[in-house]
Structure 1
Amino acid sequence: MTDHPHQPDASFDGGTLDCGNGLLLLIRRHIDPLGPSQLLEILSAEPTVAEDLPAWCRLTGNELVSQIELSDRRSYLVSKGPFDAGSLRTAATERESMPLTQAILEVKIPASLPRPADAPPVPALAVMGVGSWPRPSWLLRALHQRLEGRLDDTEFAATADDAVRLAVQAQIRAGADVITDGEQRRDNYSSFVGGLLDNCQLVPLTDLLPYVDDPDEFAAELAELDVPASEVRHPAVFGPLGRSRPLAVHEVEFTRQLTDKPIKVSLPGPYLLTRTMWMECISDRAYANREDLARDVVRVLREELHFLLATGASLVQLDEPVLTEVAFGASVNGRSFMCGALGERGSTDDELAFAKGLLQDVVAGLPAERLALHVCRGNWSTDESVALTGDYRPLLPVLADVPIGTLVLEMCTPRAGEQEILRAIPDDRRIGVGVVNQKHARIETVEEVMAKAQGAIDLFGMERVLLNPDCGFATFADNPIATAEVAERKLAAMAEASRRLRGD
């Protein structure tokens, strides 16, 4: 026990790790389960921690309460959040430190697609959400408790099941033809896999600010872009990736119990995950470069895709919004926030070629008619001015060459350009056309939706057109773009427009 003025609630030894080589991941693992104002003791023999740890505390809203010099190391006492000296203290406990490399189960890709369960076909002019649905406040509390290790998986699953029931009921009431589970179990649309894959950990975005060149400047830029950096979590890879448990199969299995309608499930795409997970000084402990990381990303996604299709998902959608960051990032002074915007990138042409190759590898040999690809220009804020602008012209080589049968595209906002550019898409692709803007609280009229849908029908033919919002209603769990009421009313307007266009 050390001679701090207050007794720690938990303690661990970080050895010689510095903040750029895994120490912050260990701190997050130990501090998350603590309650507000509880104290974590960090033992460290690395001199640079004396400078980096106070900066991390300042950026993350935690408090460095005291530090003392020992014979061969230093002891730091950190409060979770602002320190309250009046809080009760418990006996200090040693928590098991997270190893920086763990054994993983081998990923096994089936030689052929297992015999599929009944997967209802998706009809022409089908109405569907992109993926996410606003979460109830009680689910958000449970989600945070689970992320911080204060709620076990069984208790969380029961809470999330109730939220999924509500999301599915709302979509059915609205008249949606294809149902999602609303991504109710996820902290956000992409990084949730970081809490499920082997050797990957979810950390708040603020934990990663010390890795950028100027943390204070970057924090200010995130604030200007209306990014809730303390609430958005980011996957950090500290060892070889593996998939010893499913990513979304359980979501489809539960949703199939609630409806006979076609089910769509979304996964982050391989380029998005690679850009997100490749962080200098973290992932380079496990991978020589991001191409090596990408091979394992493709491997685990291919396995998940096989089992999602076999479980009966009518559409499995790969989300790749960061493609627009590659194409249009310069339109907002070189900085755009997306999951992946922190990661390494090269030239636009090289990045798009890299992304296309990864997508082709992931879906090779799988049924294109049951695969979808979603692209938008950012969905973290209702402020249109902070999102990207640009038509689909630079992305046409990716959209046209990847063997995926449905493209779910942002088209309602003027930032997306004109639909006519999409004439270059092969005739065997269906186009999910954004016909309502989820960023706006105003409910589009049925006539407005019909007009946008009719424009797509004139271009592509009715059999190729599906109807969707521009993006999800709650991409990030803590920062929903719309309320559940607004989301349901927008879907209902889409469903009525589809009914009239079909002549039902």
Structure 2
Amino acid sequence: MRPDGTRILCTHTGSLPRPRALTQLHARRARGEAVDEAALGQAARAAVEAIVPKQVAAGIDIPNNGEQGRESFVLYLRDRLTGLGGESRRTGWQDVDAYPEFKAELQAAWAGKETASMTANLPAAIGPVRYVGEAAMRAECEEFGQALAPARDRIAGAFLAAPSPGIVAAVVQNRHYGSEEAYLEALATALRAEYAAILEAGFTLQLDCPDLALERHASFREEPLGNFIAFCEKVVTAINRAIEGLPRDRIRLHVCWGNYEAPHDADVPLEEILPTILQARVAGFVLPFANPRHAHEHRAFRRLPLASDQYLVAGVIDTLTNFVEHPEVVAERLERIADSIGDPTRLMAGTDCGFDTAAGRGRVAPDVVWAKLRSMREGADIASRRLLG
């Protein structure tokens, strides 16, 4: 599941478009409405079976299950953790609130759409948090493994994602533990079971950690940068505790500034958070370099290089626009990033984030998603010839 040194492998960041009927079931369930659980499970299994060959056909070397059976990249855990109830209230994004006209247009665009919200109907931690999702995680791994079986000779590996203790703490707010550190420790202990299950099933584990960038212009928008960095350090400490003893070479970590189209001019610069991110004891980092706000920030690796056993999955496809990147654009992005990290054999091509991080919230039409992934494959092949011979 690492770069193979002969060509630039292609992967992505996790969520892929869900069928409309499945999205509707997820959205209704997320709102607290009763749904037919058997119908939901059957729809999710069918979606996974369909999504794997599509990824292979698009040239993805390291696919996943598209997170088809999850309502969102984090809130699916409401069924796998104890101690949740009550209500959490997320603050708005600083860059959205700064532009009232844009905010009004954004709200109008989403009004009436059938989606699983990431800001409404959020639970809180009101009791001891423990993991009770063993059966669900085992079933998810088995379902994915079965869908992968026909394509095993055409892929380099496979991955499944799970959220970091930090993003869970940000979304599912603490109403029980005496300190932030205690809550993060409890989440790390609970989530370790999910992390270990993914690895034991033979997949690469991707830790989804948008909190390590996003929360600067959300929860910490009114606080000094130092307070946010201190939070990030606590989260990385919790991550390292959760993955201690697990195979580092099969763990990668994704960081982003939020998968939403907006000005993003309040985003914390990568160079401010990269020293803390690099303290995570993982093999790979998955970072967005396609969007217009962060496309230049790969240069931070010139000053803060990867360790000798680490690699970078570089986002070279924007997940928020229906533009299909030209393969030459993808290749040029990869070449620039390879120059910054100093070794093209430690580079993979990926997407900036997921295409449907909460069911129904995707901005890119499904047929365009697949065109974008095919273009990524073509661009990675061009860059491979130029960089690797």
The TM tier, using the shorter chain, reads 0.7 to 0.9
Q: How does 1:78-477 map to 2 (within 5 A)?
A: 123-124=4-5, 125-147=8-30, 148=32, 150-201=34-85, 208-209=88-89, 224=104, 226=106, 231-232=117-118, 233-246=121-134, 248-259=137-148, 260=152, 261=155, 262-279=157-174, 283-284=175-176, 287-313=177-203, 315-327=204-216, 334=221, 347-379=227-259, 381-383=260-262, 385-386=263-264, 388-416=266-294, 417-423=296-302, 424=304, 425-460=306-341, 461-477=343-359
Contact 2:253–2:282 (Cα < 8 Å) also in 1:
yes
The 1-side partners of 2:117 and 2:46 are apart by: 23
Secondary structure of the residue aligned to 2:168 is helix
- After TM superposition, the runs of 4+ consecutive aligned structure 1 residues lying more than 4 A away are 220-225, 227-230, 326-330
| Residue identity opposite 2:346 in structure 1 | R
- Once the 2 structures are TM-superposed, how far is the Cα of residue 224 of structure 1 from its aligned partner? 4.9
| Residue identity opposite 1:165 in structure 2 | E
CA shift in 2, pair 1:267/1:310, >3 Å? same
CA shift in 2, pair 1:418/1:223, >3 Å? closer
Q: How does 1:25-64 map to 2 (within 5 A)?
A: none
* Structure 2: segments with no counterpart, 5+ residues: 92-96
- Once the 2 structures are TM-superposed, how far is the Cα of residue 468 of structure 1 from its aligned partner? 0.5
Secondary structure of the residue aligned to 1:435 is strand
The 1-side partners of 2:310 and 2:217 are apart by: 24
Aligned residue pairs: how many? 357
| Residue identity opposite 1:255 in structure 2 | F
The 1-side partners of 2:278 and 2:226 are apart by: 22
Report what 1:113 is aligned to: none
- Once the 2 structures are TM-superposed, how far is the Cα of residue 472 of structure 1 from its aligned partner? 0.6
CA shift in 2, pair 1:411/1:446, >3 Å? same
The 1-side partners of 2:365 and 2:331 are apart by: 23
- Once the 2 structures are TM-superposed, how far is the Cα of residue 316 of structure 1 from its aligned partner? 0.6
Contact 1:128–1:467 (Cα < 8 Å) also in 2:
yes
Report what 1:19 is aligned to: none
TM-score, structure 2 normalization: 0.82
- Once the 2 structures are TM-superposed, how far is the Cα of residue 278 of structure 1 from its aligned partner? 2.4
The root-mean-square deviation of aligned C-alpha atoms, in Å, is 3.0
Contact 2:162–2:194 (Cα < 8 Å) also in 1:
no
Farther off after superposition, 221-230 or 369-378: 221-230
- Once the 2 structures are TM-superposed, how far is the Cα of residue 264 of structure 1 from its aligned partner? 1.0
| Residue identity opposite 2:130 in structure 1 | G
Alignment deviations for residues 267-289 of structure 1 (CA, whole Å, 9 cap, x no partner): 1101111222224xxx23xx223
Structure scoring higher RCO (CA < 8 A, sep ≥ 6) equals: 2
The 2-side partners of 1:276 and 1:368 are apart by: 27
Structure 1 vs Structure 2: percent identity of aligned residues?
Answer: 23
| Residue identity opposite 2:191 in structure 1 | L
- Once the 2 structures are TM-superposed, how far is the Cα of residue 240 of structure 1 from its aligned partner? 1.1
Secondary structure of the residue aligned to 2:127 is strand
Contact 2:181–2:234 (Cα < 8 Å) also in 1:
no
TM-score, structure 1 normalization: 0.65
- Once the 2 structures are TM-superposed, how far is the Cα of residue 480 of structure 1 from its aligned partner? 0.9
Alignment deviations for residues 427-483 of structure 1 (CA, whole Å, 9 cap, x no partner): 321001011111111100000000001112223312210111111111121211212
The 1-side partners of 2:192 and 2:307 are apart by: 24
The 1-side partners of 2:81 and 2:353 are apart by: 25
- Structure (1 or 2) with the greater helix fraction: 2
Secondary structure of the residue aligned to 1:489 is helix
CA shift in 2, pair 1:163/1:388, >3 Å? farther
Contact 1:139–1:160 (Cα < 8 Å) also in 2:
yes
CA shift in 2, pair 1:224/1:407, >3 Å? farther
- Once the 2 structures are TM-superposed, how far is the Cα of residue 352 of structure 1 from its aligned partner? 2.1
The 1-side partners of 2:28 and 2:217 are apart by: 37
